[in-house]
Amino acid sequence: MTEPVLVWLRQDLRLADQAAFVAAAAEGPVIPVYVLDDETPRHRRMGGASRWWLHHSLTSLAADLRKAGSRLVLRRGRADEQLRALAQATGARRVHALGHAEPWWRNAERSVAKSLDLVLHPGQYLVPPGTLRTGSGQPYRIYTPFWRTLVQHMPPPPPVPAPDLSAPVQWPASDDLNDWQLLPTAPDWAAGMRQEWTPGEAGAQTRLDRFAECAARYGTARNLPSQAGTSKLSPHLHFGEISVARVWHAMAGAGGSVEVFLGELGWRDYAANVLWQFPDYATANAKPAFDRMDWRDAPDEVRAWQRGMTGYPIVDAGMRELWATGWMHNRVRMIAASFLVKHLCVDWREGERWFWDTLVDADHAANAVNWQWTAGTGVDAQMFVRIMAPLVQSPKFDCGDYIRRWVPELAHLPDPLIHDPPLRPRGYPAPIIGHVEARARALAAHDRLKADI
């Protein structure tokens, strides 16, 4: 019988439109493998919210594989070591996988390829990171020209169905998923996540179908936190439960302002392209001048921001939504991130680390690029001196009902008052700093930075 072929799974937990499965199925019996590797990423091991999602996504994928007459093999340890051990135990020599942009996965791919026949396939992005080039042959750093070039390569290839999988004569040993202890115990902080999300390929398709019904008004609705105007596909895309090509083809004919949404898919590709060029983007300022920025050490204020107790209702609503559901509306993400960096003058990396731990869609590239964009430190970023005013943003984007949901202490207030209550109910704080004072402090810190250059 033909020797088995390994499919190495990471953030690509689906059967349909998954090039590694298609290629492996054409060669012989397929052994799908997921390795929980907390060693290769070192300081970037998966955060708590992502681990919750991973447990349920693997559960869903294992069930789908059983229906297809296959199994999911689970191993824990260094990915390269575990794959070599599986190859030795099963007689497999070839490994198929989708290519990934995270620097630790690129390192792991190089290590695996030293001893096994590793075949990498595209499929995580619309185009593989690093492939689009400027006229001078350099990778793009700025989003707008990147997007213009990306559109010229669209649409992506049509999605393909899940292939038929044949099983090996004997299955290798597998870990028990429950032994990995990915879920919270006490306290159980995941109740809101269970209510909000259905991880897995079927859940991703349901979310896409639901969004398709309202995608035409995305351009306006995406900015209104009180409305269900966003796709909420980001965690499904991050874990690869649905391909970005499938999403593109489903949305491309939706009409209305769907081009705005397609641009968001392009931003996801752009973030991966930036990370491909700058592997330390989550920890190093892309503009070295900001290495001399006088960031404040304010642990009590950071804790108030994390808990949603800053005294700014729109910021607090967003941070509480994040803690409860593992997700935050994108407009509010910008407001909350700007508040930490510019109102509190706290290093953007503090926020990046908090989001990494609490977001179910904690994508390494997008998280880093978005924080550096907000802080003004990125290769393509807004200027630091552009400081969002939460008390202006909140009424502008009709955030009253959003605040009522997530800050119940203020639920009794009418819209004119809820954005900045003149009288604070018991248990809800006054603003930890005034906007005018915060803006002046941030600009002064930036002026000192300019004087040092």
Distance of CA 179 to the CA centre of its chain: 26
Strand partners, 118: 95
| DSSP letter for each residue of 212-258 | HTTGGGHHHHTT-TTS--S---HHHHHTTSS-HHHHHHHHTT--TTH
Instruction: Quote the tokens at residue 120.
Output: 């990498």
Number of Cβ within 10 Å of residue 316's Cβ equals 26
| CATH number for the domain whose boundaries are 288-452 | 1.10.579.10
Question: What is the domain class of 1-122 according to CATH?
Answer: alpha beta
Note down pLDDT in tens along the chain; length 453 residues: 589 999 999 999 999 999 999 999 999 999 999 999 999 988 899 999 999 999 999 999 999 999 999 999 999 999 999 999 999 999 999 999 999 999 999 999 999 999 999 999 999 999 999 999 999 999 999 999 999 999 999 999 999 999 999 999 999 999 999 999 999 988 899 999 999 999 999 999 999 999 999 999 999 999 999 999 999 999 999 999 999 999 999 998 888 889 999 999 999 999 999 999 999 999 999 999 999 999 999 999 999 999 999 999 999 999 999 999 999 999 999 999 999 999 999 999 999 999 999 999 999 999 999 999 999 999 999 999 999 999 999 999 999 999 999 999 999 999 999 999 999 999 999 999 999 999 999 999 999 988 664
Cβ atoms of residues 410 and 428 within 8 Å:
yes
The CA distance from 6 to 18, in Å, is 14
What pLDDT does residue 1 have? 53
Residues 381/410, Cβ–Cβ less than 8 Å: no
Long-range contacts of 410-415 (CB under 8 A, 24+ apart): 410/313
Provide the 10 A C-beta neighbour count for residue 399.
27
* Percent composition of the chain: helix, strand, coil (DSSP 3-state, to 5): 50, 5, 45
Which CATH code fits 125-155+201-277?
1.25.40.80
Residue 43's pLDDT is what?
83
Residue 450: the pLDDT is 80
Listed by start position, the domains of the chain span 1-122, 125-155+201-277, 288-452
CB atoms within 10 A of CB 300: 8
Question: Of 452, 298, 449, 276, which Cα lies nearest the Cα of 379?
Answer: 276
- Assign residue 376 a region (left: φ > 0; alpha: ψ between -120 and 50; beta: otherwise): left
Question: Please, are residues 13 and 201 in contact by the beta-carbon 8 Å criterion?
Answer: yes
The pTM is what?
Answer: 0.97
